[in-house]
A = this chain, B = another copy of it.
Amino acid sequence: MALKYSKQREAIKEFLATRTDHPTADVVYMNIRKAFPNISLGTVYRNLSLLASLGEVNKMTPGDGADHFDWNTEPHYHVVCTECGCVQDLPMELVQDMNKLAEKYYDGVIDGHNVYFYGNL
């Protein structure tokens, strides 16, 4: 289980680091393809779960059918856009109000996206 270097995995990590949203495996695949036209979707999935198990990325399942991958491994909350389904980080000032959020659903607008609180309410 000794890790070996792979330029595909490196490219996937670099790509994730450039994104503040939280792409799905397929979005990663589409983008990595620009630099590696022959990369396979299986390789993207294998590397994403490897990176997730190493703790280098976070795997999220917001419930839109596909998993999302987050380069930010610091503990934080997320919100999901009700329009496009994208995942955004929850502003820190709202984190402090988690107890209140837990008492009722949060609906609002962040960065032009209509979001609802994505949590286990």
Residues on A close to B: CB < 8 A? 59-63, 67, 75-78, 90, 95-96, 98-99, 102-105, 118-121
Q: List 28 A-B contacts (CB under 8 A).
A: A60-B120, A61-B61, A61-B62, A61-B63, A62-B120, A63-B67, A75-B102, A75-B103, A75-B104, A75-B105, A75-B121, A76-B120, A76-B121, A77-B102, A77-B119, A77-B120, A77-B121, A78-B120, A90-B120, A95-B99, A95-B102, A96-B99, A98-B98, A98-B99, A99-B99, A118-B120, A119-B119, A119-B120
List 20 additional A-B contacts (Cβ < 8 Å) besides A75-B102, A77-B119.
A59-B63, A60-B63, A61-B61, A61-B63, A62-B120, A75-B103, A75-B104, A75-B121, A76-B120, A76-B121, A77-B102, A77-B120, A77-B121, A78-B120, A90-B120, A96-B99, A98-B99, A98-B102, A99-B99, A119-B119
